[in-house]
Structure 1
Amino acid sequence: MTELVPVFDGHNDTLLKLEIAARLGRPLTFAQANATLDIDLPAARKGGFAGGFFAMFTPSRLDRFGVDFDYDDPSNFDPISQSEALNFTLAMFARMRRLERELPEDLAICEHAADVRSAIGRNRIAMIPHIEGAECIDTELNALEVLHAAGLRSLGLVWSRDNAFGHGAPMEAQPQLDPGQGLTDAGFELVRECDRLGILVDLSHLTEAGFWDVASTTNKPLIATHSNAHAVSPSGRNLTDRQLSAVAESGGVVGLNFHVGFLRADCKQCRDTPVAQMIRHLDHMIGILGENGVALGSDFDGCLLPREIGGVAGLPILVAAMRDAGFGDALIDKICHENWLSALEKSVPIPAA
């Protein structure tokens, strides 16, 4: 049997799915196999999942998100208040902490690349706290200080809805990418403060205008945790070759999103999307970003996955497809974990003793 390649993944929404299920009175158990979850502990072990950025996102409504999400329903993109988002985010932080306490031999919350390497070495799944959409942060950035102290090390300024800091990219097809609106004054200040604190700034979900605003402001490598190549799939959520080139010039990383609508040339929501389409994106991105600039950003538990992948246990299928496409072991290791760890080392330094 081929040895599993450890995968450190750029994005999942598993905490969100657990939180929503509990609030709807249908709690899920992460420690046991569960068909409702893309990531549960047995499936993670089967697929070689070594950890990743565990996202905390506050949905506009609970009854549909992650279960039967309708991208055409505007109520799923309604704005939410800062207090509501902060309360929801704190609940997910607490859920993550409780999971670690309940499963100390299986999970480890990490803040730096060294923590991740240590956790993987001890056969623990490494969890880096990530917030997707900064609605929970006030414009005075007081909440940012507290969340950083709680372990926040990665922040997506927006989800695909506008907030006080910037504007979200649409999820539908956009053959000619609309640059949209960029960061607000508060958004520029948030980027600068994240740089100071050592919080990775995630460009996924930002408009193109917002992307360039971050690029002109940050002094860290550009990072998109779960985005694909617009030249291969013309979704408004994907990155143009010019954007990919900017990430490459900064020494940054882009994580391949597994969502079928961001993989396909027609942007359709179709599970019968071949794994070969994922390889097309990887090939295209490697051609621009180089071997050190491409990783995985699955969006497990937050997207519609290719049927062949199915969930985290299907990661070896993607690894096998990479091998069949001529990717060598060293490149596969970079894509599957090393490039994210390198990005963490550059953007989230270990504090001086």
Structure 2
Amino acid sequence: MKRLRLQNDLMMKKNLLFVAALFWGFQLFGQEAQRIHTDALVIDTHNDVLYQSVMRGKDIGKRINTGHTDLPRIREGGIDVQVFAVWCNEKYGKGTAFAYANKQIDGLMNVIQNYPSEIALVTDTESLQRTVSQGKIAAVIGVEGGHMIEGRMDYLDSLFSRGARYLTLTWNNSVDWATSATDETRHSKKLKSKGLNDFGRQVIHRMNELGMMIDLSHVGRQTFFDVMEITNKPVLVSHSNAYALMAHPRNLQDDQIKAVAENDGVICLNFYSGFLDPMHYTKINRLYAKQVTAQDTVRRSTDSKFDRLSAAAKEQLRPPLSLLLDHIDYMVQLAGIDHVGIGSDFDGISSTPKGLDDCGDFPHLTEGLLQRGYSEADIRKILGENVLRLMKAQEE
């Protein structure tokens, strides 16, 4: 009996030691991840807070209780360089889209004017590095949607002069000179042609001349490869994932991933659950059928169904952080470590992986990369150094 008690005591002590070792291991792991994250240059290539909050009169210089983003949370997340997307949907067209783009840039400039010790606009890598060294958030402007230049080259030049350093050639809607991924896959029968036309090729040449990054998120395959044939600068894919892991038209297929690597460009991973989890839309439909259908007989899109789910149901839909890490792994294996970055799409997406609730959670991504076995040097590349290299290449 005494021997049995001694064996039980020993087993309990071993279990306690194991739990303690596990706890301290996680503690040390988290500390190392925080150190790496703090020391690294962190660049997020896509955030929609201008449209989501600033244009609705919210002061993002202070903590707000909505959305994913404000300056305090950007700081908590250790984000050194934030690309602020200038966006509007296809309802804005000739006579309205360019004006609305400028209105959003005005909104960002007001934030900068009101919080000059916190944030500054940067237009080249020299000012970027200087701003970061001063402890400020470096703000970069990216225009999401070629419809915002309204088919005019002088509007492209004007947006560049105001600080825009990338143009996403299309949003989900096509423009007269380039076709989108959505239209090339879902509405292809309505298209007269796919890819770039003559004016589209002129836009690419002009962007190369200006040193403005060509962003190939949202564009169709034909547009994508038309650009690759003529650009003389590396391209950006600001917020897209791997099609092989989630077959969504917005994600890149393997030949596109390899083409970006050959071009010396960078693909930045998106946090949206619907671009990460192959079961996301199936789960929405199941939860909707279970919770809502009896009270709602109107035929609705999947996104519309998501909006009608309860907060608890929406939480169930969030994938684990591991799925985002899987997409990063896939990109790294196919394109190489030098061609992967981060483009969260915060404030432009309705669902994110668990552990990435808002901008303040960026260090969790670094911890996940460390747990996956990435070296500090490789993590630094993914977090920002690759995108910095891409920006420098535009200046050459």
TM-score, with structure 1 as normaliser = 0.87
Question: How much does 1:172 deviate?
Answer: 12
Counterpart position of 1:28: 58
Question: How much does 1:308 deviate?
Answer: 2.0
Match status 1:9 vs 2:44 = yes
**1:188 counterpart (184, 198, 201):** 201
8 Å CA contact retained: 1:234, 1:267:
no
Q: Distance in 2 between matches of 1:258 and 1:171?
A: 23
Residues 19, 103 of structure 1: CA spacing in aligned structure 2 closer, same or farther, 3 A cutoff?
closer
Q: Distance in 2 between matches of 1:182 and 1:173?
A: 12
Question: How much does 1:50 deviate?
Answer: 1.1
Residues 171, 126 of structure 1: CA spacing in aligned structure 2 closer, same or farther, 3 A cutoff?
farther
Counterpart position of 2:297: none
> What are the residue-to-residue correspondences of 1:141-220 with 2, within 5 Å?
141-170=153-182, 181-220=194-233
> What are the residue-to-residue correspondences of 1:1-353 with 2, within 5 Å?
1=31, 2-3=34-35, 4-5=37-38, 6-21=41-56, 27-60=57-90, 79-170=91-182, 181-268=194-281, 271-303=317-349, 304-349=351-396
CA deviation profile, 1:4-61 (whole Å, cap 9, x unmatched)? 434211111111112442xxxxx2110111131211111111111112221101134x
Counterpart position of 1:76: none
CA RMSD of aligned residues (A): 2.0
Amino acid at match of 2:268: G
Question: How much does 1:135 deviate?
Answer: 1.3
Question: How much does 1:145 deviate?
Answer: 1.7
Q: Distance in 2 between matches of 1:163 and 1:33?
A: 37
The runs of 5 or more residues in structure 2 that have no matched partner are 1-30, 285-313
Q: Distance in 1 between matches of 2:161 and 2:333?
A: 38
Runs of 4+, deviation exceeding 4 Å: 171-174
CA deviation profile, 1:161-200 (whole Å, cap 9, x unmatched)? 11122122129999xxxx9821232211111111111110
8 Å CA contact retained: 1:173, 1:234:
no
Aligned pairs, how many? 322
Identical-pair percentage: 29
Bigger-Rg structure (1/2): 2
Amino acid at match of 1:36: T
Q: Distance in 2 between matches of 1:122 and 1:306?
A: 32
8 Å CA contact retained: 2:101, 2:148:
yes
Residues 135, 151 of structure 1: CA spacing in aligned structure 2 closer, same or farther, 3 A cutoff?
same
8 Å CA contact retained: 1:173, 1:235:
no
The runs of 5 or more residues in structure 1 that have no matched partner are 22-26, 61-78
Residues 289, 184 of structure 1: CA spacing in aligned structure 2 closer, same or farther, 3 A cutoff?
same
The SS at the match of 1:83 is coil
CA deviation profile, 1:238-288 (whole Å, cap 9, x unmatched)? 001100000011111000000110011234366421100011001100011
Q: Distance in 2 between matches of 1:54 and 1:39?
A: 11
Q: Distance in 1 between matches of 2:116 and 2:178?
A: 38
The SS at the match of 2:143 is strand
TM-score, with structure 2 as normaliser = 0.77
The SS at the match of 1:238 is coil
Counterpart position of 2:293: none
The SS at the match of 1:295 is strand
Residues 232, 172 of structure 1: CA spacing in aligned structure 2 closer, same or farther, 3 A cutoff?
farther
